[in-house]
Amino acid sequence: MTWPDHPLTLEEFDQLPEDNSRRYELQEGNLQVTAQAAGIHQRIVRQLTRVLDDQMLEEWEAAQDMEVILTPTWPPTVRVPDVVIAPTALIDQDPTRIHAKDVAVAVEVVSPGSGRTDRLLKMFEYAKAGIPFYWIIERTDHSIALTEHHFVEGIYEVITECRGGVFTADLPFELHVDLDVLTRRPRRR
């Protein structure tokens, strides 16, 4: 395959060959390629998705690695948050991607090499697209930290910073996430 030498349209992005060994995103039409996340990162995402789904009303669902169109017009931006909370009715339609207007919460789990992108660039892009809540999860040496941002008057404001223990959200849903269990292997049921 030859790599594109120009900014892509959404149609050209759709024509790229499938490759599950990497994550592909569009930033203002420019193809962004990153390695797939490592094991603990994937476990955090999987555990968080399960914990959220267990608590939310049936009308909402947590989904992993959904493509989200942030800017549909030229030049397009498509990001793949680690987790999104979106309407179950929309997920039931089995879309290949969803629009930012349908996302209640976007979550990024910071990996080595993604910190600046997750804390600055994606925060700006998600705010510009109007996603109401943005959570950033980070691993420290001894715990998991979650910073909750709420979109207010064109920017994200920090609502809660939780370092270990139980994170509690009131909006857009009442949720409780025990951060300390996110890195643990799930129990067999």
pLDDT tier for residue 106 given thresholds of 50, 70 and 90: very high
**Could you identify the residue written with the tokens 């920017």?**
155
pLDDT tier for residue 1 given thresholds of 50, 70 and 90: low
Per-residue pLDDT of 120-155, as tens digits, reads 999 999 999 999 999 999 998 778 999 999 999 889
The Cα–Cα gap between 75 and 165 comes to 41
DSSP code string of 57-107: -TTEEEEES-EEEEE-SSSPEEE--SEEEEEHHHHHT--SEEEGGG-SEEE
The Cα–Cα gap between 71 and 132 comes to 16
For the chain, what are the domain ranges? 38-181
| 3-class DSSP string for 116-128 | HHHHHHHHHHHHH
pTM: 0.92
pLDDT tier for residue 19 given thresholds of 50, 70 and 90: confident
**Could you identify the residue written with the tokens 């292997």?**
185
CATH homologous superfamily of 38-181: tt1808, chain A (3.90.1570.10)
Amino acid at 8: L
| Percent over 70 (pLDDT), the chain | 98
| Percent over 90 (pLDDT), the chain | 73
Per-residue pLDDT of 31-70, as tens digits, reads 998 877 788 899 999 999 999 999 999 999 999 999 999 9
